[in-house]
Amino acid sequence: MKLQKIMLDGGFTCPNRDGRVGQGGCSFCLCESFNPEYCRKHATITEQIEAGKKFFEGKYPQMKYLAYFQAYSSTYAPLEVLRQRYDEALAVEDVVGLVVATRPDCIDDDVLALLASIRERGYSVAIELGCETFYDRTLARVNRGHTSRQSMDAIHLCHRYAIPVTVHLMFGLPGESRDDILAEAEILNALPVASLKIHQLQILRGTRMAREWEEKKEDFLAFTLDTYAQLVADFAQRLRSDIHIERFASSAPRGMLISPRFGVKQSVVEARIRALMDKS
Ligand code: SF4
C-alpha cells in the first residue's frame, strides 16, 4: 500500500507572527510559499483533502493518505481546536494518519498526549519539527524566536511519547560556514530523531532575508548546484545510519525565488546528491 501526504492549511497561525513570541516572523518566511494549488486557503480541511485526493488520483493503485498539516505552526491552538481539526482530517475516507508540522516551542505534554491518543486509535502520527539550525546566534539573527535548547527538549519530549520526529534543517543561513553546517550532523546523531528534511536557504522576494542578502552577500554561502550537492552528500555521510533523509532540497516557485537558482528541476538536484552519496 502506498501512502501519499496531502498538504493542508489547517487555519493555524504562528507564535512568531501573532506577537506571542515575536512579530513579523522568521526573516526568511514567506507564507505564500507554503501551499500547493489544491490547498486553497479558505477551503475546509475536508475540502482540501478531497481536492488533494483528486490531484493524486491514479498515482498508485490502492493509495492511502496522510493528512499533512503543513502551513504555519499546526499545534498552535487550544487543545479542543486541535482535536477537532485533526479529527476532521481523520474522518475523510482513506486517511490513515497525520503528519503535523510545528515549531519546537509549540510542543508540550498536552499536545503530545492528544497525538498519542490518536495513535492509540490506530492512526499513524508523526511530527515535523522546524529546528532549521542548532546555532543560537543564527536563530537570533533570523528572528526565529526559539533556542536550540528548546529544539532539543521538544525532540526528547516527542520521543517520550513515542511520536517519531522529522527535523527540518536549513543549509546556508547567514553567518554559517560549511563546517558549521557539517558539525550539526553530530548534534543530530545524539538526538532521538527518526528522519530529516534538509533544504537550502532560498532567498524569496519580499522577505527581510532578501534585504539582508542584498546588503551582506558575503555572509551567505553562495551555493551552486555542485557545491550544495557536495555539502548534502558530506553531511549525509556524517549522519547516523538510521536517520532517514526524506528531503535533500526544496524549490520555491520561480517567480518568488531570488537565489540560489540552480537552473534545473528538483529531481536533477536530488539525482546529483544521490550520485555523490553513492560514491562516498
Ligand atoms: S515559524 Fe514558520 S510560519 Fe512562523 S514565521 Fe517562522 S517560518 Fe513562518
**Residues 215-245: tens digit of each pLDDT:** 999 999 999 999 999 999 999 999 999 999 9
| Cα 157 to Cα 59: distance, rounded to the nearest angstrom | 36
CATH number of 2-279: 3.20.20.70
pLDDT at 42: 73
According to DSSP, the residues that pair with 204 across neighbouring strands are 257
Residue 72 CA, closest ligand 1 atom number: 3
Give kind and range of the element (H or E) at residue 259.
strand 257-259
Residue of 9, 12, 13, 16 to mutate, ligand 1, most atoms within 8 A of C-beta: 16
Name which of 100, 93, 48, 52 is nearest 73 in CA terms. 100
Determine what percent of the chain is predicted with pLDDT higher than 90. 85
pTM assigned to the model:
0.94
The answer to whether 105 touches 132, Cβ cutoff 8 Å, is no
| Cα 31 to Cα 62: distance, rounded to the nearest angstrom | 33
According to DSSP, the residues that pair with 7 across neighbouring strands are 68
| C-alpha distances out from residue 12 to 75, 79, 266, Å | 8, 12, 28
Residue 14 CA, closest ligand 1 atom number: 4
- Whether 156 has a pLDDT exceeding 60, the answer reads yes
57 CA distance to ligand 1 centroid (A)?
31
The answer to whether 246 touches 195, Cβ cutoff 8 Å, is yes
- Whether 75 has a pLDDT exceeding 80, the answer reads yes
17 lines ligand 1 (CB under 6 A): yes
Residue of 28, 35, 103 to mutate, ligand 1, most atoms within 8 A of C-beta: 103
- Whether 72 has a pLDDT exceeding 80, the answer reads yes
26 lines ligand 1 (CB under 6 A): yes
The answer to whether 233 touches 182, Cβ cutoff 8 Å, is no
| Cα 47 to Cα 32: distance, rounded to the nearest angstrom | 19
